[in-house]
Amino acid sequence: MRRALGFGLFVAVAVVTLAFLALPIVGIFVHTSPGNVLHQFSNPVVKDAFVVSLKTSLLAQAAILLFGTPTAYLLATRRFPGHSLAVTLVELPLVLPPAVAGVGLLAALGRFGLLGSSLSALGITLPFTQTAVTIAVAYVASPLYIRQAIATFEATDPHLTAASRTLGAGPVRTFFRVVLPLARGGLIAGLALSFARGLGEFGATIMFAGSLQKVTQTLPLAIYQEFAVNFDASLAMGAVLVLISAVLLLTLRIALSWRSSPSTRSPSLFGLSSSS
Amino acid sequence: MRRALGFGLFVAVAVVTLAFLALPIVGIFVHTSPGNVLHQFSNPVVKDAFVVSLKTSLLAQAAILLFGTPTAYLLATRRFPGHSLAVTLVELPLVLPPAVAGVGLLAALGRFGLLGSSLSALGITLPFTQTAVTIAVAYVASPLYIRQAIATFEATDPHLTAASRTLGAGPVRTFFRVVLPLARGGLIAGLALSFARGLGEFGATIMFAGSLQKVTQTLPLAIYQEFAVNFDASLAMGAVLVLISAVLLLTLRIALSWRSSPSTRSPSLFGLSSSS
Amino acid sequence: MAKLTLDQIAVPLRTFQLELSLEVGSTVALVGPSGAGKSTVLNTIAGLVKPAAGSIRCDEETWFDAERGVFVRPEDRRVGLVFQDYALFPHLTVRQNVEYARRHHADEYLDRFQIRHLQDARPGSLSGGERQRVALARALARDPAILLLDEPLAALDAHTKVDVRAELQQLLAGLEIPTLLVTHDFEDAAALADEVGVIVEGRLRQTGTPADLVAQPADPFVASFTGANLLHGEWCATGVGTTGIRLDDGTLVSTTDDGDGAIVLAVYPWDVTISTTRPDDSAMNVVAGAITAITELGNRARVTVGPLTAEITVDSLRRLGLRPGQQVYASFKATGTRVVASRPTEG
Amino acid sequence: MAKLTLDQIAVPLRTFQLELSLEVGSTVALVGPSGAGKSTVLNTIAGLVKPAAGSIRCDEETWFDAERGVFVRPEDRRVGLVFQDYALFPHLTVRQNVEYARRHHADEYLDRFQIRHLQDARPGSLSGGERQRVALARALARDPAILLLDEPLAALDAHTKVDVRAELQQLLAGLEIPTLLVTHDFEDAAALADEVGVIVEGRLRQTGTPADLVAQPADPFVASFTGANLLHGEWCATGVGTTGIRLDDGTLVSTTDDGDGAIVLAVYPWDVTISTTRPDDSAMNVVAGAITAITELGNRARVTVGPLTAEITVDSLRRLGLRPGQQVYASFKATGTRVVASRPTEG
Amino acid sequence: RAESATRAQLTVYAAASLTNVFPAIDKSEKYSFGGSNALAAQIKQGAPADVFASANMTLPTQLFQQGFCSKPKVFTRNALVIVVPKSNPAHIRNIYNLTKSGVKIDIAASGVPVGTYTLQILKNMNLTNAVLKNVVSQETDVREVLAKVALAEADAGFVYSTDAKTVPGKVKVIRIPAWAQPKLRYGICVVSSSSQKTAAKAFIKRVLGKAGQKKLHRYGFLPRVKPKS
Ligand SMILES: Nc1ncnc2c1ncn2[C@@H]1O[C@H](COP(=O)(O)OP(=O)(O)OP(=O)(O)O)[C@@H](O)[C@H]1O
Ligand SMILES: Nc1ncnc2c1ncn2[C@@H]1O[C@H](COP(=O)(O)OP(=O)(O)OP(=O)(O)O)[C@@H](O)[C@H]1O
Ligand SMILES: [Mg+2]
Ligand SMILES: [Mg+2]
């Protein structure tokens, strides 16, 4: 009896928690009619913002994938002095107030920034360009991908890579023929997460790239601007963002859980895996 | 040769990536002298903001720990219809633009929000209170802890819980005597991450709790406000935030890697674990 | 002593459904290949897996009954389950592990299993044998009505295994608790249990004393599992009236049994003798061929000739000067052969 | 055929340092308890682990040399390494696995190992035996100068094991490649290898043919590893001039050897006979005691009396009507005992 | 070079309160609306702006002194109003009601122009302490003030009269006596780094010109020079 009670408590707490996490989202949708949401897509501001968001997000994610993957792999498979520092570095953007991150980007890449002079020497000015948006998004979203990637790579059986080596494949070939295919699922999941996060990026973007319609004004920036002039519109855009992210994450999660599903096997009561 | 080259490329990419992630932080510190940073602590605005931040963060993390842990445990050990949905729900705050999250919180818990009437019936009004800050922080930071916790719980050997059951311990006793002790490391890591993220929270807070010195003005809010009037001060505060987060994460990572360290064992070249 | 009864329990598994009835009064061993469902049986009894149908009773207590919707939770069933990997709590000391079941006779068990001196060590630092003793102590400390052992010897390397097995043997003899143990090694089963059940793909193929299984294996699988050579062939007429068996490689074999169609014969290595000249004994079945492998162990040697492996003494090995590749004759008495159901072998 | 030479390699491991020199010309087996460093030796040869000192040569090629700072990367050493868990690529088909080593003779190996019919299956769906064949095919497909097998039989359950072992035995006989295989089961080693090295805590205790190790175990560990009973005792004077050994349980034992101080005797089960009356044969050493365990298997039975386990035929078991608990005499010839170094036993 | 016949679009950085009116005056340019402070900060960081239109004179004057832009001209004026939720839960009728205890007042932070003006008004009417005690939040942007009143979380807030017009359905406007209004002048200037100075000047002319001023008036802005009364 007491036990059943204890367990009930667990469930209760969980329900409360999930409800709490769901509420704000429900709130947003309550305040906007679906009609309103659709109607937003005829609003030029929204349209432009949407395009900018999509373009920059895709570029940013491509960059994250390209640069983050090898980084994650090395961090996962090699131990070197300063390893912990490197991993912390990867996590920092996650915990930096985006606005501060933006200031940091300015301080680093702005025209008075560390690399500013060298960049302008090459005739490049980053701040307030679309490139700046991409950079801001990439900076803020990267940890979500890289951390996931590290975890995934750490989980791949070292025997398989070793086998590949003894079969005459160098580290690189091994990476592409064995490691990547096995890590695919985890990497995709991580990328989806960082994509969603990137879509929602605000603070760093406004600081580093400003908010110029058609150029640097992403959805979150548009939302913020519309607050003043058209409150409903901003709420509706918020709803749009939530929808995109949620759908993205959900489909992915389901797709993956279809692949390696513990739920497909298991008459077992207490999560005993098949090895039990 | 070609191989060595390929591998060199990997390293190069990793170095570039880490440099990119480090730059903004370096930037911030270049722009502020250590003296300036220390000097900030005599600035009353900063002092108050610091106190508010600390207080709300601690409360928020306590709440996250208390509510998030059982939730994570159930999500990790039970499969039920809508499981994927629940997990996505847990991740959403991570990807919502904080400002939108803030509006959502207002729409849900504001005095004219979904639960507003029922709350005010109990004589509770949340917006503009410190509680509101705590809620905002908890909402935005929770995913980082809960996701980590889920991963950790999923990793604990089901045989151990099963053993505990057959030894006469109910689910709850099992949880406290076996699961928690084993998961400790992972949970702490997750909590540190969410703590750091909570410290940096801006968008949701300003929307849901507003910004009032001594009451609801956290460090990031102060940074933003000072931004207009006193750029250096804001940079310095940013630096303070970065320092706190970084130190927190780093010490933790090192502490943990001391416990279950792959780096302490390993003459092995290719990360072959001891079982190899 | 208590008695456990599984009545037509059914557990749907990934690739097949586990279905069996079983009575455990003394020490029973379940043997079977990996993936046969052995562990699942134990988990079901312990209440860690919930069957789709059937019932489980321990003496008068009903632990599970699909019809009556009874399900007693694992913590309320008096079972002592020892996992294949022992599943000791790594964060607790040996003593704390043994005391986990909330009883205060820990010392008694620490002494009984001679692990008193280890009481403050953590499981991580113990040898396989020591871990097993701790696991047993822990399981018994809760004073179970029935003891369940999952692969008690699998985690040990071959040379500790022998000692630990002897230890376990004496222990079980001493205990007054019905025990169900699981293994995929017939030899272990024979050593530890009074009764052995062979389980394949979730169904019991045969149960009986180890001797029974060797004497009358119910099917080719059981036969091969108990270490017999399997000869595939066909019934055919041999001369006037008498029938025999033509093996797939053509040699004629006579048996004391009778039948027709495709068939499988079981011959145990120790019933096979090797000779360099064809033995002219009508009662003998002879398979001629080259020696493909010779394994010496102690004073015995296993010699493989075509489909047959013979077990002979090292002395005779030397006397005959056998070498791999050499042409020899492997022969066995007609009475030494067992005709087993003409089902093809698994595993 | 090629020859591999390990010259005084040293690998620091968590709890001890692996240090050995070894020559592999034919088929050599390393046996030892879990954690002895067996896998590490293979990984070192394959180039997966870099030693702190020493050198590794394969014929004329130098693969590693600490002094000269030579280190050939694993992909450039011609080794075929078969992992204990086979380490097949789960995302590739059997065929793709075999073709992985970039050679086009895949078919040849698919046929040779009779896995042609499995070529499109993924490893996940294969049985233990089939996996092993695929792993071997894959390793040989790269045409290695030396073959390394890590616990080739550990992943199999006991009854497939026998068949697979025979298979492997024939295969190795056929190959013209020096092979180093690792196991913790002396029986497997004896079955597969011409030469056996016993490794404990990173050092070779003894090397020789299986028969040698049984005949003259260098130390108690090797003895127990090869299946001997160990009797602990002390040299002492027995009557006039002759010396003998007083066992810890008091019984006097005479041997053909001579010495003094603490000592360990090795007696193999098949040298021990059981009788219900004390045998009055001066050449016999006798240990009296109660039977603690009886294990029947096939036509043999293992009977444990005090410190001794005897292996007798089931017939004599029946004839003497032996039962656990019964008082009997276990006796063995003085010539049947081997005095092994008076070091205490490990493991 | 950009001075060609078909010149490129101008980039106009303008105060958030101009979000609706500027496109009405000249829809062909690119606009970036935001808090005047943020915009000024961005211009200092080298944002590619041609024109800067601020919700005050102080910021452009600062920029001018630091050489970031030309001498600012006043191009319009604005007034502050009090907005209350349509439901007006605190029953605010006039500014003096704001001193009632328990009223939730939302204002912009002193760093932000609106914030400064709000404080001036309170000073002029010496309600400073009486009102400030009811302030529940000092936002970083007039938008947040408006949003919270619109969501009826705050009982009242100080915003530009022009902002109030953008959420008609949600808020009621309460005027503030003219005598208490601060000098609320919008300044406009050409950014020094602009590559299209002439076009920029032309734009400013358009704003200052009749048509421009009419539009501004229509959107609730006040004439750039106080009519002598
Ligand atoms: N929770 C589960 N859900 C579904 N199928 C399972 C589950 N656990 C195990 N199985 C499957 O049931 C079959 C029997 O598993 P089980 O572990 O009982 O076999 P076993 O006889 O113990 O094998 P081994 O000797 O390797 O331990 C296997 O095919 C396994 O894949
Ligand atoms: N990469 C490593 N770094 C440090 N120590 C290691 C490493 N790998 C293994 N060890 C340790 O070296 C010892 C030998 O390991 P190894 O795997 O070679 O033993 P083994 O003989 O193969 O054991 P088993 O029979 O269980 O496979 C063990 O104590 C192990 O903990
Ligand atoms: Mg099992
Ligand atoms: Mg090994």
DSSP string, D158-190: HHHHHHHHHHHHHHHHH--S-EEEEES-HHHHH
Mean pLDDT for C336-343 is 69
CA R_g for chain A? 22
Distance C116 CA to ligand 3 centre (A): 30
Lowest-confidence segment of A123-132, B216-225, C245-254, E54-63 by average pLDDT = C245-254
pLDDT band at C343 (very low <50, low <70, confident <90, very high): very low
Listing DSSP states for E81-114 in one string gives: EEEEETT-TT---SGGGGGSTT--EEEE-TTSHH
Give yes or no for a contact between D341 and D330, defined as CB atoms under 8 angstroms apart.
no
Are A and C close enough to touch, i.e. 3+ CB pairs under 8 angstroms? yes
Picking from A20, A86, A202, the nearest residue to B98 by CB comes out as A202
Residue A274 has pLDDT above 70, yes or no: no
Residue A2: pLDDT band by 50, 70, 90 thresholds?
Answer: low
**What mean pLDDT value characterizes chain E?**
88
pLDDT above 70 as % of chain E: 95
Q: What are phi and psi of E44, to 5 degrees?
A: -60, -35
Average pLDDT over residues C41-66: 93
pLDDT at D344: 45
Residue of C nearest to D272 (CA): C299
Residue E41 in this model has a pLDDT that exceeds 50: yes
Are residues D12 and B267, on separate chains, in Cβ contact within 8 Å? yes
Beta bridge partners of C6: C22, C56
Relative to the CA of B273, which ligand 2 atom is closest?
1
Mean pLDDT of C252-264: 73
**D186/C159 touch (CB, cutoff 8 Å), yes or no:** yes
Chain A residues in contact with C51 by the CB 8 A cut-off are 267
- Mind telling me how many Å the CA of A10 is from chain C's nearest CA? 18
List chain B residues with CB under 8 Å of C139.
166-167
Query: Which among E100, E222, E86, E225 is positioned nearest to E160, based on CA atoms?
Result: E222
Q: What is the average per-residue pLDDT within C129-142?
A: 89
More confidently predicted of A217 and A32:
A217
pLDDT at position A257, please? Answer: 67
pLDDT reported for residue C344: 45
C265 CA → ligand 1 middle, Å: 31
Nearest residue on chain D to C125, alpha-carbon basis: D15
Given this model, what pLDDT does residue D316 score?
86
Chain A residues whose beta carbon lies within 8 Å of the beta carbon of residue E47 = 127-128, 210
Q: Which residue of D has its CA nearest to B270?
A: D48
**Separation of alpha carbons A202 and B102, rounded Å:** 13
Q: Give E-chain residues touching B126 at CB under 8 angstroms.
A: none
pTM of the model: 0.82
Mutate which: B85, B100, B156, B266, vs A, most A CBs within 10 A: B100
Residue D345, pLDDT score: 40
C238 pLDDT higher than 80: no
- How confident is the prediction for chain C on average, in pLDDT? 85
SS3 call for B95: helix
**C270 touches B at CB < 8 Å:** no
- How far is the centre of ligand 1, averaged over its atoms, from the C-alpha of C123 (Å)? 26
Name which residue sits closest to atom 29 of ligand 1, judged by CA: C35
**Using CB atoms within 10 A of its CB, is residue E165 exposed (0-12), middle (13-18) or buried (19+)?**
middle
Ligand lying closest to the C-alpha of residue D41:
2
> Relative to the CA of C49, which ligand 1 atom is closest?
1
The single residue listed with the structure tokens 């619109």 is E150
Chain A contact present for D143, CB below 8 A? no
Mean pLDDT in runs of 10 for chain B (276 residues)? 70 90 86 81 86 94 95 90 89 83 87 84 88 95 92 90 92 92 89 87 88 90 77 80 84 71 37 36
Mutate to test the interface with C, among B78, B167, B172, B173 (most CBs of C within 10 A): B167
The helix-helix angle for A158-166 and D38-46 (nearest 10°) equals: 40
* Pocket mutation for ligand 1, best pick of A263, A268, A274, A276 (most atoms within 8 Å of C-beta): A274
Mean pLDDT, residues D47-65 = 93
Secondary element (H or E) of residue E40: helix E36-44
Residues on chain A touching B170 (C-beta within 8 angstroms): 3, 6-7
Would you state the pLDDT for residue E98? 93
Which subunits count as partners of chain A given 3+ CB pairs below 8 Å?
Answer: B, C, D, E
Which residue of chain D comes nearest to B4, CA vs CA? D73
Mean pLDDT of the A205-216 span: 86
Give yes or no for residue C200 having a pLDDT over 70: yes
Which atom of ligand 2 is least distant from the CA of C157? 25
Contacts of C308 (CB under 8 A, 6+ apart): C229, C231, C267, C272, C287, C330, C332
Q: Are strands D79-82 and D4-12 parallel, antiparallel or unpaired?
A: unpaired
Encode pLDDT of D246-281 as tens digits: 877 777 777 766 666 778 888 888 888 888 888 877
Reading the block at residue B107, the tokens are 């729409």
Closest-CA residue in chain B for E36? Answer: B228
Q: Give B136's contacts in chain A (Cβ within 8 Å).
A: none
Structure tokens at A182: 């096995």
Using a 6 Å CB cutoff, which residues line ligand 2? B 265-268, 272, 274; D 13-15, 32, 34-40, 184
Q: Supply B261's token pair.
A: 């360290």
Query: Rounded mean pLDDT of A7-24?
Result: 88
> pLDDT tens digits, residue range D221-231?
888 888 888 88
Provide mean pLDDT across the span E153-163: 90
Residue A123 pLDDT > 50:
yes
A268: closest CA of chain C, how far (Å): 5
* E38–A213 CB contact, under 8 Å: no
Q: C279-311: per-residue pLDDT in tens?
A: 877 667 888 888 888 877 777 788 888 888 888
User: Which of the two residues, B216 and C238, has the higher pLDDT score?
Assistant: B216
Residue D295 burial (10 A CB sphere; 0-12, 13-18, 19+) = buried
Query: Which amino acid, C329?
Result: Y
How big is chain D, counted in residues?
347
Chains that touch D (3 or more CB pairs under 8 A): A, B, C
Residues E7/E199, Cβ–Cβ less than 8 Å:
yes
Cα-to-centroid distance, A176 and ligand 1 (Å) = 33
For residue A37, give both structure tokens: 């949401």
Please give the structure tokens belonging to residue E174: 């309460």
pLDDT in tens, A17-43: 999 898 888 888 887 888 888 887 788
Contacts of B265 in chain D (CB under 8 A): 14
Interface test with A, best of C48, C82, C151, C182 (most A CBs within 10 A): C48
Ligand 1 midpoint to CA A272 (Å): 10
**Could you report the per-residue pLDDT of B197-246, keeping only the tens digit for each?**
898 888 889 889 988 989 999 988 888 777 766 777 778 888 888 888 88
Q: Which ligand is nearest to the CA of D37?
A: 2
Residue-by-residue DSSP string for A61-80: HHHIIIIIHHHHHHHHH---
pLDDT tens-place string over residues A133-150: 999 999 999 998 999 899
Kindly report the nearest CA distance between residue C286 and chain D, in angstroms.
21
Residue-level pLDDT at A33:
80
Asked if C47's CB is within 8 angstroms of B165's CB, the reply is: yes
How long a stretch of residues is chain B?
276
| Average pLDDT, integer, range C254-258 | 69
Work out the average pLDDT over C150-160: 76
Mean pLDDT, range C57-78, rounded to an integer: 93
DSSP B84-118: HHHHHHHHHHHHS-HHHHHHHHHHHHSTTSTTHHH
ipTM over 0.90: no
pLDDT tier at D125, thresholds 50, 70, 90? confident
pLDDT higher than 90, residue E72: yes
Determine the angle formed by the axes of helices A98-109 and A130-155, rounding to 10 degrees. 110
Say whether the C–E interface has 3 or more Cβ pairs within 8 Å: no
Q: Which residue has the higher pLDDT, C44 or A40?
A: C44
Chain A's closest residue to C83, CA to CA, is A276
Tell me the shortest Cα–Cα distance from A76 to chain C, in angstroms.
Answer: 25
Residues of chain C found within 8 Å of residue B183, distances taken between Cβ atoms:
none
Q: Which atom of ligand 2 is nearest to the CA of B272?
A: 1
**C124 Cβ contact partners less than 8 Å away, ≥ 6 residues apart:** C90
Least confident of A259-263, B184-188, C152-156: A259-263
Site residues for ligand 1, CB cut-off 6 Å = A 265-268, 272, 274, 276; C 13-15, 32, 34-40, 184
Give the residue, out of C9, C30, C38, with the most ligand 1 atoms within 8 A of its beta carbon, to mutate for a pocket test.
C38
Q: Do A182 and D90 touch (CB under 8 A)?
A: yes
pLDDT attached to residue A228: 62
* CA distances for E12 relative to A29, A118, E17, E43, angstroms: 34, 28, 14, 11
DSSP C347: -
Please give the share of chain A, as a percent, with pLDDT higher than 90.
Answer: 27
pLDDT band at D321 (very low <50, low <70, confident <90, very high): confident
* Token output for C209: 């004393």
CA distance linking residue B223 with residue A161, whole number of Å:
48
Quick: pLDDT tens for A57-113. Answer: 999 999 999 999 999 999 998 888 888 889 989 988 887 878 788 888 988 888 778
